[in-house]
Amino acid sequence: MILAAFFDAAGTLFEPREPVGRTYARLARQFGLDASEDTVAAGFRRAFGAAPGLAFGPGHAPGELRRLEREWWRRRVGETFAPMGAWSGFDAYFDALFAHFADPDSWIADLEAAPMLQRLKNDGLKLGVISNFDYRLYRILDGLDLTRYFDSITISSEAGYAKPRREVYQAALSRAGAPPHEAMHIGDSEHLDFAPAAAIGMAAVLIDRGNQQAAPSIAARTARICSLASVPQVAQVFRLA
């Protein structure tokens, strides 16, 4: 029986309005560095692929968390541009970049997100977010008019642990008052969403928008889908299983 559904945020419910590498390169030119989108995108993938999770352990005060989150991102952006050498405009550039991605207008919600979430609420499910995003997520969800659907929002820095650590899932489940076997998690990452959710006993759903011709593939308590529109169908199958 599924009583709660949790969602990853960026890449699942919404995505950047333009490719990240393009944004990084476009803004960099305004601060004195001319680098190609492809070069910056490759640096971004390298930096973030090797990065530790955006979490710093439990017990930090809110103000300290904001400082740690910002410093975490500053290190990742610095690593993205490190092969291109030092540049005097970096500090001002980072401030502008951080503000850009805090702006809801820099993101676009999946067209299926709102109707899908409303249908799940109508079906009586508790809804939550489990994300490795930082505190800017609250403003983004507000601006995209998605906050109203959720009973809880759990971000890695405030939980003290980042996906794929089981503790962040356990924190979200505890807030919802739902045991793992009565919950499902939907995300776009095999490593960060699908595998860890299944490992702690949640029903796990992987969204792969690159496979638009595929019908939902459901096996036991796991599913692979190509559209958020399929989530209510999958939830119904899980609830009857």
174-201 pLDDT per residue, tens:
999 999 999 999 999 999 999 999 999 9
Kindly state whether residues 91 and 127 are assigned to the same domain: no
CATH value at residue 65: 1.10.150.720
Say if residue 241's pLDDT is above 80: no
Q: Of residues 118 and 240, which shows the higher confidence score?
A: 118
Q: How many CB atoms lie within 10 A of CB 198?
A: 18
Residue 60, domain extent: 17-105
Average pLDDT value over all residues in the chain: 95
Say if residue 11's pLDDT is above 80: yes
Per residue in 84-137, pLDDT tens?
988 999 999 999 999 999 999 999 999 999 999 999 999 999 999 999 999 999
Kindly state whether residues 168 and 191 are assigned to the same domain: yes
Kindly state whether residues 73 and 115 are assigned to the same domain: no
The predicted pLDDT at position 46 comes to 95
Q: How far apart are CA 99 and CA 73, in angstroms?
A: 12
Confidence bin at 69 (pLDDT 50/70/90):
very high
Kindly state whether residues 85 and 24 are assigned to the same domain: yes
Confidence bin at 61 (pLDDT 50/70/90):
very high
Kindly state whether residues 157 and 40 are assigned to the same domain: no
Per residue in 26-39, pLDDT tens?
999 999 999 999 99
Kindly state whether residues 188 and 125 are assigned to the same domain: yes
Kindly state whether residues 98 and 127 are assigned to the same domain: no
Domain ends where: 81, 105, 129?
105
Strands 152-155 and 126-131: parallel
Domain ends where: 75, 105, 135?
105
The length of the chain in residues reads: 241
Kindly state whether residues 88 and 149 are assigned to the same domain: no
Kindly state whether residues 79 and 138 are assigned to the same domain: no
168-171 long-range contacts (CB < 8 A, ≥24 apart) are: 168/55, 168/130, 169/6, 169/130, 169/196, 169/197, 169/200, 169/202, 170/200
Say if residue 212's pLDDT is above 90: no
The predicted pLDDT at position 175 comes to 94
Q: How far apart are CA 81 and CA 87, in angstroms?
A: 9
Kindly state whether residues 92 and 134 are assigned to the same domain: no
DSSP letters spanning the chain:
---EEEE--BTTTEEESS-HHHHHHHHHHHTT----HHHHHHHHHHHHHSPPPS---S---HHHHHHHHHHHHHHHHHHHHGGG---TTHHHHHHHHHHHTTSGGGEEE-TTHHHHHHHHHHTT-EEEEEES--THHHHHHHHTT-GGG-SEEEEHHHHT--TTSHHHHHHHHHHHT--GGGEEEEES-IIIIIHHHHHTT-EEEEE-TT-TTPPPEEETTEEEESSGGGHHHHHHHHHH-
**Average pLDDT over every residue of 55-63:** 96
The predicted pLDDT at position 77 comes to 97
CATH value at residue 198: 3.40.50.1000
Q: Of residues 146 and 215, which shows the higher confidence score?
A: 146
Kindly state whether residues 142 and 68 are assigned to the same domain: no
Q: Yes or no: say if 167 and 159 are a contact pair by the CB < 8 Å rule.
A: yes
Kindly state whether residues 38 and 140 are assigned to the same domain: no
Q: How far apart are CA 169 and CA 174, in angstroms?
A: 9
Paired residues of 127 in beta bridges: 5
Domain ends where: 105, 131, 161?
105
The predicted pLDDT at position 37 comes to 96
Q: How many domains does the chain have?
A: 2
Q: How much of the chain, in percent, has pLDDT values that exceed 90? A: 92
**Average pLDDT over every residue of 137-162:** 98
Confidence bin at 211 (pLDDT 50/70/90):
confident
